[in-house]
Amino acid sequence: MKIYTRKGDDGSTGLWYGGRVGKASSRPEAYGSVDEAASALGVCRAAAERGSEIYEDVLRLQSELFVAGAELATAPEAADRLEEGVSKVTQAMIDRLERDIDRYMDRVDLPPKFVIPGGTELSARLDLARTAVRRAERRVSALKEAGELADDTVLTYLNRVSDAVYAMARFADEDDPELFQGRD
Domains of the chain: 15-174 (1.20.1200.10)
Contact 114, 181 (CB under 8 A): yes
Q: How many angstroms separate the CA atoms of 123 and 171, rounded?
A: 8
Comparing CA positions, the residue from 163, 35, 37, 154 lying closest to residue 91 is 154
Q: CA 68 → CA 25, 86, 125, distances in Å?
A: 18, 9, 22
Q: Please, which residues bridge with residue 114 across strands? A: 181
Show pLDDT as tens, one digit a residue, over the chain (184 residues).
888 889 899 898 999 988 999 899 999 999 999 999 999 999 999 999 999 999 999 999 999 999 999 999 999 999 999 999 999 999 999 999 999 999 999 999 876 778 888 999 999 999 999 999 999 999 999 999 999 999 999 999 999 999 999 999 999 997 655 555 554 4
Contact 139, 33 (CB under 8 A): yes
pTM across the whole model:
0.91
